Amino acid sequence: MSRCAGVGAVMRPEEALQRSVVDLLALYEARSLLAFAHVPNGGRRSKAEAGAFKAMGVRAGVPDLLIWTPGGGHFAIELKAGRRAALSDAQVVWHSTLENLGHRVYVCRSVDDVERCLRAESVPPVGTLAVAISADVQERTR
């Protein structure tokens, strides 16, 4: 399995999920319904690079995506591919810290999970596909 997603490379499941979620969030962002950023904490780095990033404030366990919505709303999403993928100890600590400060953190394992979080945060669905997904997600949660 390849460590980078170049032409013909095989992506890791979490990377594939993240790319799909970023594509989805970009649709919402294009309609001014939210803004988002990825916190690039993961990946392999040399010791020098890791030290430089740490000195610049990179912290283990920060959620994958930070999302801001109109009117001052904000929340974070941690992506995990597969039902068995678990949070690291550092992620558990960060999630608890953010929640204690009054911020919401969602753990999502699929694009549908992200759509569910967007509805929970009052972000309206985008387009007919999102409306169909939203209706399907709402039906399954009943």
Domain range holding 97?
13-110
For residue 77, being part of any structural domain is answered with yes
| CATH code, domain carrying 38 | 3.40.1350.10
What is the tally of structural domains in the chain?
A: 1
Confidence class for position 19, pLDDT limits 50, 70, 90? very high
Phi and psi at residue 75, to the nearest 5°: -160, 175
For residue 37, being part of any structural domain is answered with yes
Distances (CA, A) of 60 to 47, 94, 135: 15, 8, 36
For residue 63, being part of any structural domain is answered with yes
For residue 56, being part of any structural domain is answered with yes
pLDDT in tens, 90-134: 999 999 999 999 999 999 999 999 999 999 999 999 875 555 555
For residue 125, being part of any structural domain is answered with no
pTM over 0.85: no
